[in-house]
Structure 1
Amino acid sequence: MAYLVGDVSSTARCFPLMDGKPVAIARSSGPYVWDESGKRYIDTVLGFGGTILGHAPDAVIQAASTALLTNPLPAVNHPSEELAAAALAQRTGNLNKVIFTNSGSEAVHLACRVARVATGKRRIVKIAAGFDGWLDGVAFGNVGSAEARFKPGQRPSNGYVTVIRYNDFNDVEQVFSEFDDIAAVLVEPMLANAACIPSVDGYLAHLQKTVRQNGALLICDEVLMGFRLHAGLTSHLYGIDPDLVSVGKAIGSGIAVSAVVGKAEYMKVAEEGRALRGGTFSGNPIACAAVLATMPALEKADYLALQAHGNILRESIIESFAKHGRTVCTSGYGNVFSIWFSETPPKTYDEGLALVNNELSLALHMHLRREGILIMPSPYGRMYISFAHDAAVVAEMQVAFERVAELMSRAVVGVGA
């Protein structure tokens, strides 16, 4: 009898069987993971972006271990919580008030609550196919859902959340003409969970301008993209000035921690007790130790080299498949990107839906798994590259992709489960 529901607590971690067996990772270090049989994989899942320094970085593990041994869970305030908040806020500009949470879903939920209380309005507008957590309300309109795809003149809504189309300038203005109770618009700087669809030129600026003109707040969900392109917020790198931002994943380098960072004028509703916040484990010493160790490491990290390694890999993947008669392209950035079996990547979710090929995406996953590279099995999956993926690791990946491109050029696409 199996006691764990569906064999895993998060459905995102449910990978397909191979030779009748699941993949179960027993150990991880740097760019690698090892399964229970001892087989090594180059990992591009990387905790779904949560291990930007690579698995188990020494400084982070040592800091978290010290906290675990000395002060794992006090019931009251502890010194490292303010220190961790300061370390984070020093890198988030005018969003200099911090509330720690345990997961990205909690951070998004709390940001929405703060926005609703601060504005006195109820409705949250989110991007169709954006993944802003699995909690009720913002799960509405997630990638793959029926409500994420809709025609002009339609407006999916559940009374709490209303969705708009990504990269659609007119839809931004249209939604504000339809509703007068919009507290905030929630957007990812890149539509990552729909397979890394970047914003088109001017879209985010137009979104911000329209939001401000209508008395709403702009919430950027950077649980995935925060600290991924530089040691700070991707929003600020794009010249956007959000009011609230959810961050997570990279800020703890594999240790569970997320946060809401926001402007003081809005975050005061939580400080004054008007927006409820809580959580026994929120801001715990282990999480704060991880943040304190991660922030200086990211400050010193060579993001240009990281992007270069990823871009070399992206170009190599395209060339390998072209050499063997199959066209692929990529979308995203050097250290987080998706592979499309098409000539050009989509600019909208609807375009992406038309390009999705479940059979080819699964075949790619299975072939690479046999070659010792672990990628997400979904057509909406992403490949992450960490600072531990050096030139030698990238070269090894290039060789594996070359072999897989050749295999997938043959008549039989799949490799079986």
Structure 2
Amino acid sequence: MAYLVGDVSSSARCFPLMDGKPVAIARSNGPYVWDETGKRYIDTVLGFGGTILGHAPAAIVEAASKALMTNPLPAVNHSSEEAAAAALVHRTGKLNKVIFTNSGSEAVHLALRIARTSTGKRRIVKIAAGFDGWLDGVVFGNVGSAEARFKPGHRPANDFVTVIRYNDFDDVDQLFTEFNDIAAILVEPMLANAACIPAKEGYLAHLQATAHKHGALLICDEVLMGFRLHAGLTSHLYGIDPDLVSVGKAIGSGIAVSAVIGKAEIMKVAEEGRALRGGTFSGNPIACAAVLSTMPALDECDYHQLRTRGDSLRVSIVESFRRHGKTVSTSGYGNVFSIWFSDEPPATYDEGLVLVNNELSMALHLHLRREGILIMPSPYGRMYLSFSHDDGVVEEMKQIFDRVAEAMADIPVASGA
């Protein structure tokens, strides 16, 4: 392309060429997307998790279109902003104050500012290899970085951020012997962007208890996982009430909206003006209309059925590859998971580095794309199912995976970072 840098505005959209040609999506509906040639794909990328109802759900499109036609961008408060905040709070337990933002990165950025202001401390602890947005404050320690893999006694840190290993209880305890300026621990309740690794039993509770013991907060980054496993926060499924959460993606059904939700005693620093919040488009009527129409829609959805479909697909994928002479495993939770060319999925990022297989992951992407399923090309990528992926769609996916497993039977396995 002549004008668009790298052909995309977000590097996450850099999908490989196939037969010398890029893929460019022209339209989408339900579980499907169509490229510029008219080829249809079953979509498992789903806006990187942002379209849990499927593409272009009628109720959300209607509500957003009405907002666009009647009140697209007032410069003052509007009638749906408080209602949209209430719709979130009614589903987020003890977290009862909301600030709307536009992207997941913005929501995390604001949550960190609130935590620093509330505690009077500067340092944020994030998970090694965790992805919490692309802004400067959290790119330290991202997947693939040197900082994400470190030896005991050599914890990477800069003036404002340091990292801990996911699911490592002892590393959390050691952390607070090394630093006395920690404002908050930032964690995904499932390490979704680095292998779909679920938290071990008691790990998130240990994070919060240890943070509180030392005067720090726990921030759950639920931009990706919030409202994906049930109509609320994933952290609640683990039995914890974090101090702050960032949400996005699924709360707007494909329309750009995110939010920080927190406990009143912490969020007051923003209300008092001590922690600056802003944004021309933050909480705009179109975004709020999306939230207001999405929340009741999710309340009516059968999450158990969605998880069951995902589990059934995962079992079928493993069996198809086994039948054709290859061992694969899956990591994740029901309707969001990663595929690994290994006997067992990784339980830590370090294990993932050993098991990662770029060649096979790329081959899987290209074979599936040719057959009509769109997945992420990265070995750390995820497959999502939406509520529009009904039994018929999932059955078609199983058949396609079986054909692809047969086609990949002769590709040698050689793992490692």
TM over 0.5: yes
Q: Distance in 1 between matches of 2:155 and 2:195?
A: 23
The answer to whether structure 1 residue 97 and structure 2 residue 97 are counterparts is yes
Structure 2 counterpart of 1:40, one-letter code:
R
1:200-219 superposed matches below 5 A: 200-219=200-219
**Structure 1 runs not aligned, ≥5 long:** none
Structure 2 counterpart of 1:15, one-letter code:
F
Alignment-derived partner of residue 261 in structure 1: 261
The answer to whether structure 1 residue 9 and structure 2 residue 2 are counterparts is no
Structure 2 counterpart of 1:134, one-letter code:
W
The CA deviation at 1:410 is 2.3
Alignment-derived partner of residue 23 in structure 1: 23
Q: Distance in 2 between matches of 1:202 and 1:71?
A: 46
The answer to whether structure 1 residue 151 and structure 2 residue 151 are counterparts is yes
The DSSP-based 3-state class of the residue aligned with 2:80 is helix
Q: Distance in 1 between matches of 2:164 and 2:305?
A: 36
The DSSP-based 3-state class of the residue aligned with 1:219 is strand
The CA deviation at 1:237 is 1.3
Q: 1:112 to 1:410 in 2, by over 3 A?
A: same
Q: Distance in 2 between matches of 1:28 and 1:241?
A: 36
Q: Distance in 2 between matches of 1:112 and 1:96?
A: 18
The CA deviation at 1:162 is 0.5
Alignment-derived partner of residue 43 in structure 1: 43
Q: 1:175 to 1:385 in 2, by over 3 A?
A: same
Alignment-derived partner of residue 393 in structure 2: 393
Q: Distance in 2 between matches of 1:91 and 1:393?
A: 30
Alignment-derived partner of residue 281 in structure 1: 281
Structure 1 counterpart of 2:174, one-letter code:
Q
1:193-204 superposed matches below 5 A: 193-204=193-204
Q: Is the 8 A contact 1:189 1:235 kept in 2?
A: yes
Q: Distance in 2 between matches of 1:412 and 1:332?
A: 25
Alignment-derived partner of residue 249 in structure 2: 249
- The CA RMSD measured in Å over matched residues stands at 1.0
- Encode CA deviations 1:248-278: one digit per residue, 9 max, x unaligned: 0000000000000000000000000000000
Q: Distance in 1 between matches of 2:286 and 2:221?
A: 24
1:373-388 superposed matches below 5 A: 373-388=373-388
The DSSP-based 3-state class of the residue aligned with 2:108 is helix
1:354-365 superposed matches below 5 A: 354-365=354-365
The CA deviation at 1:411 is 4.7
Alignment-derived partner of residue 118 in structure 2: 118
Q: Distance in 1 between matches of 2:106 and 2:139?
A: 12
- Encode CA deviations 1:201-260: one digit per residue, 9 max, x unaligned: 221111111111111000000000100111000111110120000000000000000000
Q: Is the 8 A contact 1:137 1:158 kept in 2?
A: no
Q: Distance in 2 between matches of 1:205 and 1:77?
A: 37
Q: How many pairs were matched up?
A: 414
- Encode CA deviations 1:356-402: one digit per residue, 9 max, x unaligned: 00000000000000000000000000000000000000000000000
Q: Is the 8 A contact 2:306 2:386 kept in 1?
A: yes
Q: Percent identity?
A: 82
Structure 1 counterpart of 2:146, one-letter code:
A
Q: Distance in 1 between matches of 2:379 and 2:146?
A: 17
Q: Distance in 2 between matches of 1:320 and 1:59?
A: 37
Q: Distance in 1 between matches of 2:13 and 2:110?
A: 25
Q: Distance in 2 between matches of 1:402 and 1:395?
A: 11
Q: Distance in 2 between matches of 1:183 and 1:295?
A: 32
Q: 1:367 to 1:174 in 2, by over 3 A?
A: same
Q: Is the 8 A contact 1:50 1:249 kept in 2?
A: yes
Structure 2 counterpart of 1:82, one-letter code:
E
Q: Is the 8 A contact 1:329 1:341 kept in 2?
A: yes
Q: Is the 8 A contact 2:55 2:254 kept in 1?
A: yes
Q: Distance in 2 between matches of 1:211 and 1:316?
A: 41
- Encode CA deviations 1:92-128: one digit per residue, 9 max, x unaligned: 0110100000000000000000000000000000000
Alignment-derived partner of residue 163 in structure 2: 163
- Encode CA deviations 1:12-38: one digit per residue, 9 max, x unaligned: 011000111100000000000000000
Structure 1 counterpart of 2:138, one-letter code:
V
Alignment-derived partner of residue 348 in structure 2: 348
Alignment-derived partner of residue 87 in structure 1: 87
Structure 2 counterpart of 1:63, one-letter code:
A
Alignment-derived partner of residue 34 in structure 2: 34
TM-score norm. by structure 2 comes to: 0.98
The DSSP-based 3-state class of the residue aligned with 1:206 is helix
Q: Is the 8 A contact 1:46 1:54 kept in 2?
A: yes
Alignment-derived partner of residue 301 in structure 1: 301
The DSSP-based 3-state class of the residue aligned with 1:125 is strand
The CA deviation at 1:339 is 0.2
Q: Distance in 2 between matches of 1:404 and 1:157?
A: 43
Alignment-derived partner of residue 370 in structure 1: 370
Alignment-derived partner of residue 407 in structure 1: 407
Q: Is the 8 A contact 1:107 1:258 kept in 2?
A: yes
Q: 1:157 to 1:221 in 2, by over 3 A?
A: same
Alignment-derived partner of residue 172 in structure 2: 172
The CA deviation at 1:412 is 7.3
- Which stretches of structure 1, 4 residues or more, deviate above 4 A after TM superposition? none
**Structure 2 runs not aligned, ≥5 long:** none
